[in-house]
Structure 1
Amino acid sequence: MSERPYPFEKNRYYYGKMLTSADFQAEQRYNEYKRMFLNQMVLGRGVLCGLGVRMLDERTLLIESGAAVDGAGREITVPGDTVKKLSAFEGYDSLAKQKAALYVRYREETAQPVCVVNRKAEQDEYEDNRIREKYEFFLADCQERQQSGPDEDFFVEALLSGGPDYAVSLRMPAVVSRGRRVRLSLLVEKLSDEESSLSLSGVLKLPAFLTAEGAQELHICEEDIVLECGAFRTYDHWLYASEVEFDSTTILWDVDASAITVDGSEAECEPDPELPLRLTDRTPEELIKWRVGQKSLEEKNHGNEEEAVRLAEISIADEAHDHVLREVREFGVKRYIPVPESEEICREYLSYYSEHAEYIRDMLPAAEKKEEEIPAREAEAPVIRGGTLEIPLDVKMKKGKICYSEEIIHGLGPGNVYVDVGICNVDDGAGSRNKSDTVVYGDTGLFEGKNRQGISAQTAVKVFEARGSFQVAARLTGEQNTIVLPLRWTAVRVPDGTDTDGEDGNMQIVPETPTVRLSQGEKHYFSVRFKNMLPCTLKYELMEDGGGEIGPDGIYTAPAKAGIYEIRISCADHRSVCTYVYAVVGGKE
């Protein structure tokens, strides 16, 4: 549909008006266009239900029944399942690539011919009495990934490397709420069919953000990334947006301290990539409503220029000049339109998860956090880490009162770590880290009269070795003239003889119950404890055929035959770190 449905025009009825076919067509057009306009504005283009795509064999697709709304706002209804050979789809013969997109589009056809009673001289004797709404599927070459699109106002991207094998970029909201945690995404896309691996290391400069360790630099390291052509992988990093006074900032990629390699060779990198951002005091909820609502009518329709609805991406292999299906991918390709009918079940489902992703990360034990927060012992972790923190003070806090900080992740991982803190000297007494020019470690009372801030306090640090974190306690020893106690901390790993320079060394996995007695068909989970290492992915293997079944999650099902069966449990990343457990099958004592 090339014409716009607006401005809307409807019949004006009056006594004695002569109605012709043009008037009735205008009446239909008005109601259709109004409905299509609302579909465009409220729903957009996408699938309402069904329309799943499956491979039946290497040359045949099954498309399930369902409903969709196209870019013009027209409803597309597929009342039954469709089974079709790949070569029978429209557009198949014109495909130029080995990756295609499957679409469905709206179509009409006339039906039910009837005799024309009062016809014009040039008119046919028979006219079709109905217009039947239909649909059709077709194939088209996948479009190249665009850096901008309908969501370009909401997100900003910086391309780090553009191929030819891999594209690497950074992505964030274009406008960030101050005082909130925000996600920075590292996006990796495979562009070619060549088998290759990508490794990336780099430093991001964060003028207005803090990492989990309180630093204004984010170190990114991802190694041996292997993807198939067209596949994406996302690596998320959470940052805290500081409550700064300026309204715009830029995240910089330190080119000199960074490297991107493909199969060991340096990849093509963009010069001085950066993420320009704006900062606001609006909440994310207010911000998204405002930015969605401020779009003009032309901008709103910009994303609906393509009328057909994309259902899947299809990988096609050319085998001896005969195209066969290799893979069908729906996730990340098909857009589902949320409908009121599903809101209740969606709310109930989401209620089983934390409201914000950062809360989930805070609740995890330190050993389960991502590698950039707590580097594994076997990796090359920094020997020293540092940062700043603030302890809020009660108004008119009495001398001798003790206050505590939150638990802080120091970033050196579990083990023997020494942490010391000092009190920052601040001009305005409000805890602004930007104006600190001296730090007092130890007893601040020895510098009374020389410390412009005048905070007198004793500090102590409790280190949680197993969790890789610490907590600071402070006792006021003088008068209080600030509501925030600003501190600078330094963490140093103390060698204790357990580091093994990347070898397995003293790392162990110890079964909670090495031997269990089970009845035939009974299930049991073999849990383990990790010693001198972080928790990792485990592999479970039966040591003999007929010894039952064990899933990748470690749940063992005893066989029907009595006997003693051995199971090997090993670390996926360190196969030499392993243990053995035994199942005695044949009835419990």
Structure 2
Amino acid sequence: MKKSRYYPFERNRYFYGKLLTVRDFESEQKYFSDKRRLLNRLLYGTGVVTGLQVVAIDDKSVSVEMGAAFDALGREIIVPSPVTLKLSMVEGFTNNEYAKNVYLCIAYDEKGKEPVHAVANSSVRSEEISEYNRVLESYRLFVREEAPDPSSFPYADLFEETNVLAADGPVRLLLTTPRYVNPGQLFEARLKIEKTLQTPPVSLQFELSAEHFEPADEEHAHIVFREPADSQETEYSIPVLLRAGSRSNVKSALGITGQLRIGDRQVSVEPSAANTVFVAEEPVQKRLLDDYYNRTIDQAMDAPSEPCIYLAKIGLLQMGPTYMIEKVERVPFGEYVTNSSVLQRIGELERRAVTVAQKFEESKAYAQAQKELTASESASAGQTASAAETKPALAYGGQPGREEVSSGVVEIEIKNVSRQGIISFSKQGKSFFSGEIEHGLGEGNVYVTAGLENSSVEPFGEMINDSEQVYYGSVDVFKDSAYAPNLDNVSVGALVYPKKGTLRIGVKVFGATEATRVRVRWWAMKKPLKAESAPAGGALSELTSARLEAAAGIDEQ
């Protein structure tokens, strides 16, 4: 890496009696600076780290705010305070043409500071000699009036390829394509038109030419673009959807043939500057990572001889003999360095937003199901048959990889009333059953859980909300307590008929009771068709599992 001379690393070796010279102290500083800059470049990248916004403060001046950046050699660029610049006074700005786009750039610079008298040099030279006592690591702001080569940016040729298909004065036509695609993959090529504000309206008509690719549909086979008459843009992006062929491990040249019209002038676009797209058999992400890690350190640290960062693209309008700043686009080529912790937080927020959206949709679906369940319960409240069945009140799923759940309520009549209106049972108890209930999940095995809901027989039970008590699991837990149900010593079972898609509920009652029927709530769940395709951590699966674990209750009247 002759250009930057960052390695091999050498450090001073100290020993007693060593004569230290300027070279030794400079090597001491260089050793640590070079290592830091190497890590800056390889681990973090190139671009704006924070701040450095460019703001137009009037028609001819801009302000560069405080901020920090890394250049292509890993050197830190710090702007400690806002800087106001009259554009025409900035280095690189020419006065011969005002209807154009200019680019405000920043680069690393060093300046001497604190001049002092050099005592040692005065012994060999008669005149007074001064040297700077400090070196200030600073920056330099300047203007470039030509758009940069797309391949000059770091990683520009690693993930995508961009070529200039046509250039005519201030107008450029560029084509960007991915470096790799997979067989049969639908991908996007992008045409970009760059122009100035005072350029006449542009239009483009073209066809794509490629051996192993075809347009996604007829709309993308022949593309016509016309700039709106009232537009104030300096850049237009035209997406083109393509589909890769079935062959793998082949390269294809992708170009366009057509006409670019600038006002009344016409510029031919030939496919000579075609992009190359490789159809890879392995996943694109793996191929890109392989290319990234297989680079040599020279390739990773490759940089222009005078690296800089493009802070803004400034659109100028010609106003008689002078100019006016019409538009400022910040960091036009996306040169940013993002903190890894920030990226992690953004990823967490995105995942959280997806989870919240899923849970919100689940809650709406569950609330709607609860309304249907309440309506179904109300409809069945007047039934006094031995098995007053309700239709499934809740149903989720129906898609591979997702649980299917249904729910309902059934009332089972208790017979064999004794002479004083109190039912008496032996120690073994007495069993009662419902009729067959269609659970609505179709044929096949289902998991069923059932429980008992409790309604108070007390005159003021409704007023104290006893009617809303639901008992889960074994009701014996609450026996002989203030929370005991009116009907205890009851067990519930379910019988499933997989080939019929139905089930039957049964209850067994021990001891005397005044109740004449038992109200049972049941839940049925059918596992996904393909468990491996179910979304990991899906909100629906979590919800239905929680509901099934807690689905048991009693209602006696």
TM-score range, shorter chain: 0.5 to 0.7
Q: Determine the C-alpha separation between the residues in 2 that align with 1:246 and 1:130.
A: 57
- Structure 2 residue 176 is the aligned partner of structure 1 residue 171: yes
Match of 1:225 in 2: 227
The CA RMSD over aligned residues, in Å, is 3.7
Match of 1:369 in 2: none
Alignment check: 8 A CA contact 1:5 1:34 kept: yes
Q: 1:149 to 1:89 in 2, by over 3 A?
A: closer
Q: Report the secondary structure of 2:269's partner residue.
A: coil
Q: Determine the C-alpha separation between the residues in 1 that align with 2:124 and 2:152.
A: 52
77-86 or 117-126: which moved more?
Answer: 117-126
Match of 1:338 in 2: 338
Which structure 2 residues correspond to residues 564-583 of structure 1 after superposition, within 5 A? none
Task: Please report the TM-score for the alignment, with normalisation by the length of structure 1.
Answer: 0.51
Q: Determine the C-alpha separation between the residues in 2 that align with 1:272 and 1:142.
A: 23
Q: Determine the C-alpha separation between the residues in 2 that align with 1:19 and 1:55.
A: 51
Which one of the candidate residues 101, 104, 107 is aligned to 1:105? 107
Alignment check: 8 A CA contact 2:184 2:245 kept: yes
Which one of the candidate residues 134, 137, 157 is aligned to 2:138? 134
Q: Determine the C-alpha separation between the residues in 2 that align with 1:337 and 1:27.
A: 29
The alpha carbon displacement at 1:120 in A equals 6.0
The alpha carbon displacement at 1:321 in A equals 2.9
The alpha carbon displacement at 1:146 in A equals 5.2
The structure that has the greater radius of gyration is 2
- Structure 2 residue 296 is the aligned partner of structure 1 residue 296: yes
The alpha carbon displacement at 1:78 in A equals 1.0
Alignment check: 8 A CA contact 1:197 1:263 kept: yes
Q: What residue identity is the alignment partner of 1:81? A: P
Q: Report the secondary structure of 2:286's partner residue.
A: helix
Q: Determine the C-alpha separation between the residues in 2 that align with 1:164 and 1:116.
A: 53
Q: Determine the C-alpha separation between the residues in 2 that align with 1:14 and 1:136.
A: 41
The alpha carbon displacement at 1:252 in A equals 6.0
Q: What residue identity is the alignment partner of 1:309? A: I
Which structure 2 residues correspond to residues 384-423 of structure 1 after superposition, within 5 A? none
Higher RCO, 1 vs 2 (CA within 8 Å, ≥6 residues apart): 2
- Structure 2 residue 137 is the aligned partner of structure 1 residue 121: no
The alpha carbon displacement at 1:15 in A equals 3.1
Alignment check: 8 A CA contact 1:183 1:237 kept: yes
Task: Please report the TM-score for the alignment, with normalisation by the length of structure 2.
Answer: 0.54
Q: 1:270 to 1:119 in 2, by over 3 A?
A: closer
Match of 2:68 in 1: 67
The alpha carbon displacement at 1:64 in A equals 0.7
Q: 1:115 to 1:34 in 2, by over 3 A?
A: same
Structure (1 or 2) with the greater helix fraction: 2
Q: 1:220 to 1:43 in 2, by over 3 A?
A: farther
Structure (1 or 2) with the greater strand fraction: 1
Which one of the candidate residues 182, 189, 212 is aligned to 2:194? 189
For structure 1, the 5+ residue unaligned runs are: 355-589
Which structure 2 residues correspond to residues 251-290 of structure 1 after superposition, within 5 A? 251=254, 253=256, 255=257, 261-262=261-262, 267-270=267-270, 274-290=274-290
Match of 2:241 in 1: 238
The alpha carbon displacement at 1:66 in A equals 0.2
Alignment check: 8 A CA contact 1:163 1:191 kept: no
Q: What residue identity is the alignment partner of 2:160? A: F
| CA shift digits 1:439-489 (9 cap, x unpaired) | xxxxxxxxxxxxxxxxxxxxxxxxxxxxxxxxxxxxxxxxxxxxxxxxxxx
Q: Determine the C-alpha separation between the residues in 1 that align with 2:240 and 2:340.
A: 33
Q: 1:95 to 1:143 in 2, by over 3 A?
A: farther
Alignment check: 8 A CA contact 1:95 1:141 kept: no
Q: Report the secondary structure of 1:338's partner residue.
A: coil
Q: Determine the C-alpha separation between the residues in 2 that align with 1:83 and 1:18.
A: 48
- Structure 2 residue 55 is the aligned partner of structure 1 residue 54: yes
Alignment check: 8 A CA contact 1:191 1:229 kept: no
Which structure 2 residues correspond to residues 420-435 of structure 1 after superposition, within 5 A? none
Q: Determine the C-alpha separation between the residues in 2 that align with 1:272 and 1:185.
A: 17
Q: Determine the C-alpha separation between the residues in 2 that align with 1:272 and 1:332.
A: 27
Match of 1:363 in 2: none
The alpha carbon displacement at 1:51 in A equals 0.3
Q: 1:209 to 1:304 in 2, by over 3 A?
A: same
Q: What residue identity is the alignment partner of 1:299? A: Q
Q: 1:29 to 1:323 in 2, by over 3 A?
A: same
Q: Report the secondary structure of 2:24's partner residue.
A: helix
Q: 1:3 to 1:332 in 2, by over 3 A?
A: closer
Q: What residue identity is the alignment partner of 2:236? A: R
Count of residue pairs brought into register by the alignment:
348
282-291 or 163-172: which moved more?
Answer: 163-172
Q: Determine the C-alpha separation between the residues in 2 that align with 1:271 and 1:116.
A: 64
- Indicate the percent of aligned positions where both proteins have the same amino acid: 24
